[in-house]
C-alpha cells in the first residue's frame, strides 16, 4: 500500500474537518484535507461554544486562545421584551462538572484559523485549499476523489477512508447517494450584526438572550465587540423585502428605538432545517457535522455536535488505520446518530418551538415554568447540565457517563417478577438514557405485604447503586403507594432524595402529576389488581382529589399480583373498548406489570395514560429533561416511533 493509499482524506476545512485532522495529527495518522475555499472564510457563522466542547478543546490547549478572542457568557436568559421579565440560567451551577461553566461567544472562524496555524508544521496533515471535490468513488482498497484545483486543472487523490465534513451541501454525501431526511421550517431567519451596545439600553441583559416581543420574537447574542440579532419577517413580509435596509432598520428599532440609523455590518438570511441521514457511513465513506445532520441554529447545537462527531470518529479512524475493521464506522453511527436525532436536533427543535409561541397566555406560562426551573437549584443544575449531554460517545471523555449516557442515567425499581417495566422504559426513554435496574424483592408470602415492603425498604435498594450518580430514580410499582398511602410515600421519597442526592419518581404520585397536567379530575380506571388492591388504589386516588367515575378490572387467573404479568396489550385494549367515551377527563390503565404502551394515547379523547408512561415522564421531568416531553409535559418525544421500530410496525 502506498503512502497516499494509507491516509485519511477529509473534505471540508471548517471547524469539524480541522478538529478531526488535528486529532489525527496527534495520533500520527496521515491525512489530506481538501477545501474549495482559497482561504478560511471570516464570515459570521456559528459563534457559540458549549462547556463540553471547551473541555475537549482544552485537552490540546485550544480553549485558552479562543477565550482570549471571545466573550464568556456565564448566564443566558429567556425574556419578555415589553416588560423585561426574564428567566436567567446561571451555568456556574455545573462548575463541579466542567472546567468551563459558561458558553463562549466566539466566531467559528477563529477556531479554524487556530487549528490551521497549529497544523501548518504538521508532518502528517496536508491542507489543500482551493481544491473543489466534485465526485468520490470507493473500491475494496480505498477511496478516490476527483475535482478541480485552484488553477482550473483536474486533480484526483486516493486514501484509505473518505470523511465528508463538507457541510449541508456535502458532495461526499451526494456521492454516497444519501439524503438528509426531515423537514424545513416555513420561516426564514435574518441574522443582522451590529456594533450597537444593546447592553446599555436593555436592563439585565445576558450575553445570550432569547426574547419574545408582541407578535414575534428575536434573539440577541453578544460577541466581544458586536451583537448578532436573529430577526424574523412579519407575516406580510417576504424574505426579499426583509433584506431591504429600511425593513431591517424597522426590526432593529423595535428592539431599542433610537434617533440615528443602526450600523449593520453583516446581513445573512438562512432557512431553518431539521434533517439527518439514516446512516453515517457507506463502506469507506463517512459523514460528520452538517454533512450528516442540520438543525435550527437556536441554542448553538450544530457546530458543537459536529466537533463531538470529530472526536468520536477520530478514534475509530485511528483503529482502522492500524488495521481494525471498517465495522467500527457502524459503531460511530450507533453512538452519534441517536445523539444528533434525540438531543442535537431535538433540543434545537424545542428551542425553536418555544420561541415561536405567539399566544401571550401560553408565553406567560412558559416563562413562569422557566423561572421556576431557574429558581430551583436542583432543576437549574439539571437544566444547565444538558449543555454537557451531547458529548455521548466522543471517545474523548474519561467517564462511562460521557461514553454511554449523554441524556443521563436513570435508575428504576422493578418488582421482582415484573417482566414489563424494562421493556416499556427502554422504548419510552431516549436511547441515550440507559436504565440501571434494581429488583424490588421480598420474601413475604402475602402479596400485599410484599408490595408494602418494596416501598418501605426503598433506601436499601438505592444503597445498591453505591456511588453511581443517577439523573433520577423511578419506582415502578403503583400498588406499593396505594397501600402505604400518599402521606407516607411522600416522606419516603423526600428522605431518599435528600440522602442519595437525586430525585425520586413514585409511580402512583406520577399518575396524579400526569392527571394534573391533563387537568383531569373525573377519570375511569382499568386495573388488573385483586379486589383489595383495587380498593386501596381507589382510596389513594380519591385522597389526592381524583374522582373515579368508572372502573374496569382486567381479570387475572389468581389473586396473587404476579398473575398480572400474564396479561397483555390485548387485555388493555379490550378493557378500553368497554369504557364509556364521554363524560371522562381521562382513562388510567394502572399497573406497571401489564403491557400497555400499544393501547395508551394521552392525546386522545379522552386521553389514555398508563403507570409506566407516567412514572417515566415524571422521572424525565424531575431530572430537568422537560424539553424531552411533549407540549403537555406528559409524553416523552419519539417513544411512539421507537415502539413501532421495536415491533416492526
Q: What is the pLDDT of residue 547?
A: 94
Q: Is 60 exceeded by the pLDDT of residue 398?
A: no
Lateral strand order in the sheet of 103-105: 48-49, 103-105, 71-73
Q: Is 70 exceeded by the pLDDT of residue 402?
A: no
Distances (CA, A) of 156 to 144, 145, 153, 159, 551: 7, 5, 10, 10, 73
> From its phi and psi, is residue 300 left (phi > 0), alpha (psi between -120 and 50) or beta?
left
Identify the band that residue 393 occupies on the pLDDT scale cut at 50, 70 and 90. Answer: very low
Comparison of pLDDT for 151 and 215, the residue scoring more: 151
The Cα–Cα gap between 122 and 585 comes to: 67
Q: Which of 74-88, 183-197, 289-303, 386-400 has the lowest mean pLDDT?
A: 386-400
Kindly provide the residue ranges of all beta strands, DSSP E only, lying in 442-599, ordered along the sequence.
Answer: 472-475, 504-506, 522-527, 547-553, 586-589
The Cα–Cα gap between 219 and 355 comes to: 9
Using a pLDDT cut of 70, give the percent of the chain over it.
89
Comparison of pLDDT for 256 and 605, the residue scoring more: 256
pLDDT in tens, 17-37: 999 999 999 889 999 999 999
Q: What is the pLDDT of residue 576?
A: 82
Write down the H helix ranges in 356-506: 360-375, 377-385, 400-404, 421-428, 447-456, 458-463, 478-484, 486-500
In this structure, what C-alpha cell is assigned to residue 215?
407578535
Average pLDDT over residues 267-287: 89
Distances (CA, A) of 637 to 43, 96, 346, 591, 617: 36, 30, 9, 22, 10
Compute the mean pLDDT over every residue in the chain, rounded to the nearest whole number.
86
pLDDT in tens, 547-593: 999 888 876 655 555 556 566 677 878 888 888 878 899 999 888 87
The Cα–Cα gap between 286 and 443 comes to: 54
Identify the band that residue 489 occupies on the pLDDT scale cut at 50, 70 and 90. Answer: very high
The Cα–Cα gap between 55 and 635 comes to: 33
Q: What is the pLDDT of residue 300?
A: 66
Write down the H helix ranges in 356-441: 360-375, 377-385, 400-404, 421-428
Query: Are 181 and 193 within 8 A, CB to CB?
Result: no
Average pLDDT over residues 38-52: 85
Average pLDDT over residues 74-81: 94
Q: Is 80 exceeded by the pLDDT of residue 273?
A: no
Q: Is 80 exceeded by the pLDDT of residue 136?
A: yes
Torsions phi, psi for 588 (to 5 deg):
-105, 125
Task: Tell the burial category of 426 from Cβ atoms under 10 Å away from its Cβ (0-12, 13-18, 19+).
Answer: middle
pLDDT in tens, 425-471: 888 887 667 789 998 888 888 889 989 999 999 998 898 887 777 88
Distances (CA, A) of 620 to 389, 428, 529, 624: 14, 10, 27, 6
Using a pLDDT cut of 90, give the percent of the chain over it.
51
- The span from the first CA to the last CA of the chain, in angstroms, equals 47
Q: Which residues of 3-21 are buried (b: 16+ CB within 10 A; e: fewer)?
A: eeeebbbbbbbbbbbbbbb
Q: What is the pLDDT of residue 428?
A: 86
Q: Which of 19-23, 91-95, 247-251 has the lowest mean pLDDT?
A: 91-95
The Cα–Cα gap between 572 and 590 comes to: 10
In this structure, what C-alpha cell is assigned to residue 224?
466581544
Query: Are 561 and 530 within 8 A, CB to CB?
Result: yes
Distances (CA, A) of 330 to 140, 268, 279, 495: 17, 37, 8, 44
Query: Are 425 and 435 within 8 A, CB to CB?
Result: yes
Pairing state of beta strands 281-282 and 285-287?
Answer: antiparallel
- Selection from 205, 134, 125 nearest residue 174 by Cα: 134
Q: What is the pLDDT of residue 249?
A: 96
Q: Which of 189-193, 367-371, 568-572 has the lowest mean pLDDT?
A: 568-572
Identify the band that residue 381 occupies on the pLDDT scale cut at 50, 70 and 90. Answer: confident
Amino acid at each position: 500500500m502506498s503512502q497516499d493509499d494509507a491516509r485519511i482524506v477529509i473534505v471540508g476545512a471548517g471547524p469539524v474537518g480541522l478538529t478531526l485532522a488535528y486529532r489525527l495529527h496527534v495520533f500520527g495518522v496521515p491525512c489530506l484535507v481538501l477545501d474549495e475555499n482559497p482561504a478560511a472564510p471570516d464570515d459570521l457563522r456559528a459563534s457559540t461554544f458549549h462547556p463540553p466542547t471547551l473541555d475537549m478543546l482544552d485537552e490540546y490547549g485550544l480553549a485558552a486562545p479562543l477565550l482570549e478572542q471571545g466573550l464568556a457568557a456565564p448566564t443566558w436568559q429567556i425574556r419578555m421584551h415589553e416588560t423585561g421579565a426574564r428567566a436567567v440560567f446561571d451555568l456556574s451551577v455545573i462548575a463541579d462538572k466542567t472546567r468551563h461553566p459558561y458558553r463562549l461567544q466566539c466566531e467559528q472562524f477563529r477556531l479554524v484559523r487556530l487549528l490551521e496555524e497549529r497544523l501548518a508544521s504538521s508532518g502528517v496533515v496536508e491542507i489543500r485549499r482551493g481544491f473543489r471535490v466534485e465526485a468520490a468513488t470507493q473500491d475494496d482498497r480505498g477511496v478516490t476523489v476527483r475535482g478541480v484545483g485552484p488553477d482550473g486543472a483536474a486533480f484526483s487523490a486516493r486514501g484509505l477512508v473518505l470523511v465528508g465534513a463538507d457541510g449541508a451541501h456535502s458532495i461526499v454525501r451526494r456521492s454516497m447517494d444519501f439524503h438528509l431526511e426531515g423537514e424545513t421550517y416555513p420561516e426564514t431567519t435574518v441574522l443582522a450584526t451590529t456594533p450597537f451596545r444593546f447592553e446599555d439600553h436593555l436592563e439585565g441583559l445576558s450575553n445570550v438572550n432569547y426574547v419574545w416581543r408582541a407578535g414575534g420574537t428575536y434573539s440577541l447574542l453578544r460577541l466581544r465587540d458586536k451583537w448578532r440579532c436573529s430577526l424574523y419577517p412579519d407575516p406580510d413580509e417576504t424574505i426579499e423585502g426583509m433584506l431591504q435596509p429600511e425593513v431591517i432598520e424597522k426590526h432593529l428599532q423595535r428592539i431599542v428605538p433610537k434617533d440615528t440609523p443602526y450600523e449593520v455590518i453583516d446581513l445573512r438570511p438562512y432557512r431553518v432545517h431539521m434533517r439527518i441521514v439514516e446512516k453515517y457511513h457507506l463502506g469507506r465513506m463517512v459523514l460528520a457535522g452538517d454533512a450528516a445532520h442540520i438543525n435550527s441554529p437556536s441554542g448553538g447545537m450544530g457546530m458543537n455536535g459536529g466537533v463531538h462527531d470529530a472526536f468520536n470518529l477520530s478514534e475509530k479512524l485511528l483503529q482502522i488505520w492500524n488495521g481494525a475493521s471498517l465495522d467500527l464506522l457502524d459503531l460511530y453511527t450507533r453512538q452519534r446518530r441517536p445523539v444528533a436525532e434525540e438531543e442535537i436536533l431535538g433540543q434545537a427543535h424545542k428551542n425553536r418551538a418555544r420561541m415561536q409561541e405567539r399566544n401571550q397566555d401560553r408565553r406567560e406560562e412558559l416563562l413562569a415554568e422557566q423561572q421556576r426551573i431557574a429558581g430551583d437549584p436542583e432543576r437549574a443544575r439539571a437544566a444547565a447540565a444538558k449543555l454537557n449531554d451531547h458529548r455521548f460517545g466522543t471517545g474523548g471523555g474519561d467517564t462511562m457517563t460521557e461514553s454511554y449516557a449523554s441524556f443521563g442515567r436513570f435508575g428504576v425499581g422493578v418488582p421482582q417478577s415484573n417482566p414489563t417495566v424494562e421493556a416499556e422504559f427502554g422504548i419510552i426513554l431516549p436511547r441515550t438514557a440507559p436504565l440501571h435496574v434494581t429488583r424490588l424483592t421480598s420474601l413475604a408470602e402475602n402479596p400485599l405485604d410484599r408490595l408494602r415492603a418494596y416501598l418501605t425498604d426503598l433506601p436499601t435498594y438505592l444503597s445498591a447503586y453505591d456511588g453511581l450518580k443517577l439523573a433520577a430514580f423511578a419506582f415502578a410499582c403503583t400498588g406499593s403507594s396505594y397501600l402505604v398511602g400518599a402521606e407516607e410515600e411522600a416522606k419516603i421519597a423526600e428522605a431518599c432524595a435528600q440522602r442519595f442526592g437525586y430525585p425520586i419518581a413514585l409511580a402512583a404520585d406520577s399518575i396524579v402529576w400526569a392527571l394534573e397536567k391533563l387537568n383531569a379530575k373525573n377519570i375511569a380506571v382499568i386495573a388488573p389488581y385483586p379486589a383489595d388492591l383495587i380498593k386501596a388504589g381507589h382510596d389513594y386516588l380519591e385522597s389526592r382529589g381524583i374522582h373515579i367515575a368508572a372502573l374496569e378490572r382486567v381479570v387475572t387467573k389468581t389473586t396473587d399480583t404476579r398473575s398480572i404479568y400474564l396479561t397483555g396489550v390485548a387485555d388493555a385494549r379490550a378493557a378500553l373498548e368497554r369504557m364509556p367515551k364521554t363524560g371522562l377527563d381521562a382513562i388510567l390503565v394502572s399497573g406497571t406489570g401489564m403491557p400497555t404502551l400499544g393501547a395508551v394515547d394521552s392525546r386522545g379523547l379522552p386521553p389514555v395514560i398508563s403507570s409506566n408512561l407516567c412514572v417515566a415522564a415524571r422521572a424525565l421531568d424531575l431530572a430537568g429533561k422537560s424539553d424531552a416531553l411533549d407540549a403537555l409535559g406528559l409524553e416523552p418525544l419519539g417513544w411512539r416511533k421507537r415502539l413501532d421500530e421495536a415491533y416492526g410496525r
